[in-house]
Amino acid sequence: MSGRAVEAAGDVDTLLLDKTGTITLGNRQAAEFIPLAGVTERDLADAAQLASLADETPEGRSITVLAKERYGIRGRAGGARRSGTPPSSPSRPRPASAGWTATGW
């Protein structure tokens, strides 16, 4: 490191670090699903798994693995879904105003 760089570092008063794996490598894994009142853990796992299907990060993959291991929930093909879950597709998600709640339509 040059002397100028060391001197310039003395003028720094704020340092921002990107902690998404570019600097460090962590082992962030989903460990459990903690639902709010009125939502079953299985329904939460189902929704989390569906939301994580296209997530290729270690965290996203760990959610799909946890849902599969705990509840046997697997990826869906061609719109297959459990009763009570809202229909959607990656290209045309259902708007929030469609009326779906954790208890169904």
Rounded to whole angstroms, the Cα distance separating 6 from 32 reads 45
In the annotation, is 18 catalytic? yes
Spatial contact of 50 and 85, defined as CB atoms under 8 Å apart: yes
Spatial contact of 73 and 49, defined as CB atoms under 8 Å apart: yes
Rounded to whole angstroms, the Cα distance separating 88 from 69 reads 24
Q: Tell whether the torsion through CA atoms of 90, 96, 99 and 103 is positive or negative.
A: positive
Rounded to whole angstroms, the Cα distance separating 58 from 64 reads 10
Catalytic member of 11, 18, 46, 55: 18
Active site residues: 18
